[in-house]
Amino acid sequence: MEAAAALNESGAAAPRLPAGRGNASLQLSSRVPAPAALNPWDVMLCVSGTAIACENALVVAIICYSPALRTPMFVLVGSLATADLLAGLGLILNFVFQYVIRSETVSLLTVGFLVASFAASVSSLLAITVDRYLSLYNALTYYSERTVLCIHTMLAGAWGVSLCLGLLPVLGWNCLHDRTACSVVRPLTKSNVTLLSASFFLIFLIMLHLYIEICKIVWRHAHQIALQQHFLTASHYVTTKKGVSTLAIILGTFGASWLPFAIYCVVGNPDYPSVYTYATLLPATYNSMINPIIYAYRNQEIQRSIWVLFCGCFQAKVSFRSRSPSDV
């Protein structure tokens, strides 16, 4: 979420304001800045953004193309893919603007766009987790208009909060006027990245709690089946173990991608080498690259839609079966 803004951190910041005018204005220098030396880390971020944009653009196209993929689960997956698509485009635009249109104004807009996009991605992951929990906790009433309304409300809130977080640096919460207030994520201030990191930690803890509750429900269901059949069959044990393992992989991937950057945003100092910021940011972008694999491409309905879209091998008369989001 918050990590997205790190692209213009120290060492890769936008050009400074013209001498003699201090930091009182965002006006650009009339002198043409010297071409910036190509940073390999920026190239890797751009490549990562390109892969993210391509992967998630396909998911968005498939969900929009297939009328069968309109269940609450796919609405959430579409929201996640859209957020990751925007984040990928933001990484590409950041690279272009950093080496072609070097201005602090454009840099600020790009950072705000990335903050909003990654925040929407993390918020969509939280919404998917909540949906999976509800699909198990309220299995009998899950497929109802109330669930659809709840999901739309969650998504509206997630995107609204993400947009506000992205607008904060654009509306003035930045360190363009006070370089001493800068964080490892220029031009964001230390207090700004602290807020973003704290928001991420809160979301991560909520997701951890919900996945623990999901595991408890899965084990409880397996135990009830065992009591009804007087023994726990090997297939039930394998299925339950696989489901819990999948949830662990999902949460572990999310934490491994974002936690290093979120922690470094809090404890890091802007005087540290910029390579530290890049080294923690790059894995965070990989989460948006992995998301479509975990939440979309493993789904049978989306796999079938891919065949329809590209190969035409799928028989139209075969019905789509929308699985519950609790399927893992």
What does the domain layout of the chain look like in residue ranges? 40-308
φ, ψ for residue 96 (rounded to 5)? Answer: -65, -50
Q: Which position has the token pair 């796999």?
A: 303
Tell me how far apart the alpha carbons of residues 86 and 120 are, in angstroms, rounded to a whole number.
10
Q: CA-based Rg of the chain, rounded to a whole angstrom?
A: 22
- Label residue 170 exposed, middle or buried (CB < 10 Å: 0-12, 13-18, 19+): middle
Tell me how far apart the alpha carbons of residues 212 and 227 are, in angstroms, rounded to a whole number.
23
For the chain, residues with pLDDT lower than 50 are: 1-33, 236, 314-328
pLDDT at 300: 84
Of 240, 248, 250, the closest CA to residue 217 belongs to: 240
- Residue pair 45/285 in contact (Cβ under 8 Å)? The answer is yes
pLDDT at 230: 55
pLDDT at 234: 52
CATH dotted code for 40-308 = 1.20.1070.10
Residue 300 C-alpha from the chain's centroid = 23
- Element containing residue 16 per DSSP (H, E): none
Give, as one character, the DSSP assignment of residue 12.
Answer: S
Does residue 187 have a cis peptide bond before it, meaning omega lies within 30 degrees of 0? yes
Tell me how far apart the alpha carbons of residues 22 and 19 are, in angstroms, rounded to a whole number.
6
For residue 249, give Cα distances in angstroms to 151, 246, 297: 24, 5, 16
DSSP helix, strand, coil percent of the chain (3-state; round to 5): 70, 0, 25
Is this structure's pTM higher than 0.85? no
Convert the pLDDT of each residue in 130-178 to its tens digit. Answer: 988 888 887 777 777 777 888 899 999 999 999 999 999 999 888 888 8
Of 326, 296, 319, the closest CA to residue 211 belongs to: 326
Q: What is the largest CA-CA distance in the chain?
A: 83
